[in-house]
Amino acid sequence: MHRQRKKGEAKMTSRTLRVAAALLVGFGVSVSGGIALADPIASAITEAEIEPFVQRGIDLRKIGRDIEALAIFEDALLKAPASVRVKVHLAATHQALGQWVEAERYLSEALRQGDDPYVRRHRPTIERAYEFVDQRLGSLDVVGEPEGAELVLSGRSIGRLPLAAPVRVPIGAYVLEVRKEGYYSVARPVAIGGGMLLRESVALGARPAAAPASATTHDAPGTEDDRGGSPRWLTWTLTGAGLAAGVVSVVAFQIREKHAERWNSDACLVPGSTRGQVCPDEIDAGRSADRWGIGSAVLSGVLLAGGLTSFVLERRPPNERSSLSLEGCGVGVASAGCFGSF
């Protein structure tokens, strides 16, 4: 009788601990030490709660409604911030939408949780997805001065000097602008290749103090914009865009060669199967890169021709100096730019 009473008390104590642990987790209380039972209980409850959201997102993706699925998965992640499964589905959805930076972020977070059972079961697939996304991204690092200068990449602010770390950017051609009040701005074309780090160095020159009002009262009437001809900025923009398109063409042809090498390698040769069955995506990816290369090369020629034409027709003020004074230059892996007074 005494033994049965002790056994009943032990069962009640165990049940009480489990209920208490579940309540603490439900109110967001951190459980540690002797109440380690909270972790498996919290995990089971969380997965059960988000399962309908995950399944709904999967169903939407199957019928091509990726944008709606993305909202569903983001809501699920708010409910279960530690769920690796939700992060992997978020990465796959961002990838389908061509949002490579976001896809890489979620895949990286998933791989960092290496002890998670979901990661252990699907690690090879997650790693292959990460490698695929990584090939669509490059890194841009900008160093220089002055401190606090804003960095704008094709109209999107990406930070200020100095950068804490290189910025991950989808491959492609961009215009990098560095600006700060009281300094001359710098704008130069940059091209980001897959897996590459492009480092740009800049040093903005300070603008001179404003001239007194009396010094401008006898200036000749009319401004540069009042005269006929092509504006100077158009010449630089067309030339820079043409050079950037040329770099994109080179990168595209390199990617095409990589796909062609894999298509012709033993990796795509399996007895009893055709190369198309083993490597169905290689030939399509190679043809896509080839089209990009040809299109970018044609565009580069058109833009450079436009830049040359604009230079010939460029308008200049009557009192323009015949010399060019450069205050500084910056050279990158795939671009170079200078600034100064003209």
Stated pTM of the model: 0.48
Residue 48 shares a structural domain with residue 108: yes
Q: What tokens appear for 89 in the block? A: 């589905």
- What is the b/e burial string over 213-223, where b = at least 16 CB atoms within 10 angstroms of the residue's CB? eeeeeeeeeee
| Structural domain boundaries enclosing 285 | 232-314
- Verify cis geometry, omega within 30 degrees of 0, for the bond prior to 52: no
Q: What is the pLDDT of residues 219-250, one digit of tens each?
A: 444 444 444 556 776 777 877 887 887 787 77
Is residue 337 classed exposed, middle or buried when 0-12, 13-18 and 19+ CB atoms within 10 A define those classes?
Answer: buried
Asked if residue 178 is part of any domain, the answer here is yes
State the pLDDT at residue 155: 92
- The verdict on residue 220 lying in a domain is no
Both tokens of residue 195? 């897996």
Number of domains in the chain: 3
Residue 31 within a domain: yes
Domain-terminating residue out of 115, 134, 153: 134
pLDDT of residue 336: 40
Distance CA 263, CA 267 (A): 8
**CATH number, domain with residue 75:** 1.25.40.10
Q: Which residues of the chain have pLDDT under 70?
A: 1-47, 211-230, 233, 263, 266, 269-270, 272-273, 275, 277, 307, 312, 314-342
321 is a domain residue: no
Do the beta carbons of residue 151 and residue 158 sit within 8 Å?
Answer: yes
- Residues 12-54 have pLDDT tens digits of 444 433 433 333 233 232 322 332 223 333 343 456 778 888 8
Q: Read off the CATH number of the domain in which 166 is found.
A: 2.60.40.10
